Amino acid sequence: MAKRLDVSDLDIYYDKFLAVQGVSMTIEPRSVTALIGPSGCGKSTFLRTLNRMHELVPNARVEGKVMMDEEDLYGPNVDPVRVRRHVGMVFQRPNPFPTMSVYDNVAAGLKLNNKRMKRSDMDELVERSLRSANLWDEVKDRLNRPGSGLSGGQQQRLCIARAIAVQPDVLLMDEPCSALDPISTGAIEDLIVELKRDYTIVIVTHNMQQAQRISDTTGFFNLKAIGEPGALVEIDATTKIFTNPGNTATEDYVSGRFG
Ligand SMILES: Nc1ncnc2c1ncn2[C@@H]1O[C@H](COP(=O)(O)OP(=O)(O)OP(=O)(O)O)[C@@H](O)[C@H]1O
């Protein structure tokens, strides 16, 4: 669990459109890396290349390299479905499987991967995942009720439980709190800080305070110029990015002068 990602010279295309150019960065295990930047600069696009979800868009592709420890995620014999199992994703809007129970939502990935798992082992893993997602106490008496009956914040923690049930190495989060109220947001932020003990976490956020509260490292993306692709401007310790960034565009962005 908790592997390092090493991205080098990554160019990301939607068909002929070069959306993001020349990204290189190292993402350390057992840390939270926040990706910030104005709308349209390619943060979500970049995030989706880290588990090969980008290529689910027809004709979308990348050039460059993404290494997870010693493994080239875009190597010739690598199965993208396996990559997505090892690099989990949590989305902006909580998306539990609506007709499935709370239990089955968490067990869904486990069932796909381990068809012969004993019921008692499955029960144990579902409980452990829900506990890790700080949701167990709230749902233990309604495991058989639909996941869609939970509150928005609970649904998002259910999605996090589902993502960690398969014991991924990396967890990607694309604005996981943007649909949540401040109290649910606080619960998810606390959870992210706890989860970094076991996982490598990369989160896209528009919320500067959130990036400062929960991340160790922050990467600032921006468009090179109007009509040009997005690019990584700088990446550094979060305290440095927010107090003494190396680039004036970063300073303007984090101090709210644009974006
Ligand atoms: N499915 C797609 N097909 C074609 N172009 C796309 C697709 N998704 C995104 N793009 C383009 O890629 C560029 C980067 O978009 P992306 O959504 O990654 O930016 P972002 O920084 O995450 O924005 P936001 O903060 O608004 O979510 C934009 O020019 C966008 O229009």
Question: Strand 60-68 vs strand 230-237: parallel, antiparallel, or unpaired?
Answer: unpaired
The domain locations on the chain are 5-255
Q: Which atom of ligand 1 is nearest to the CA of 41?
A: 21
Residue-wise pLDDT for 28-81, tens only, equals 999 999 999 999 999 999 999 999 999 999 999 999 999 999 999 999 999 999
pLDDT higher than threshold 90 for residue 157 = yes
Q: What is the pLDDT of residue 179?
A: 87
pLDDT in the model for residue 180: 87
Given ligand 1 and candidates 44, 93, 207, 233, which is best to mutate, with the most ligand atoms within 8 Å of its CB?
Answer: 44
What pLDDT was estimated at residue 55? Answer: 95
Interval between CA 24 and ligand 1 midpoint (Å):
19
Pocket of ligand 1, candidates 43, 59, 173: which has the most ligand atoms within 8 Å of its Cβ, to mutate?
43
Instruction: Provide mean pLDDT across the span 86-109.
Output: 93
Average pLDDT value for the chain: 94
As assigned by CATH, the class of the 5-255 domain is: alpha beta
Q: Which ipTM did the prediction report?
A: 0.98
CA atoms 166, 172, 174, 180: torsion sign: positive
Distances from the Cα of 88 to the Cα of 51, 52, 159, 171, 199, angstroms: 7, 11, 10, 5, 10
Prediction pTM value:
0.95
Q: Look at residue 200 in the predicted model and tell me its pLDDT.
A: 97
Provide, rounded to the nearest whole percent, the portion of the chain with pLDDT above 90: 86
Ligand 1 atom closest to the CA of 221, numbered from 1:
21
> Percent of the chain having pLDDT more than 70?
99
Q: Could you report the per-residue pLDDT of 193-209, keeping only the tens digit for each? A: 999 999 999 999 999 99
Q: Is 66 helix (H, G, I), strand (E, B) or coil?
A: strand
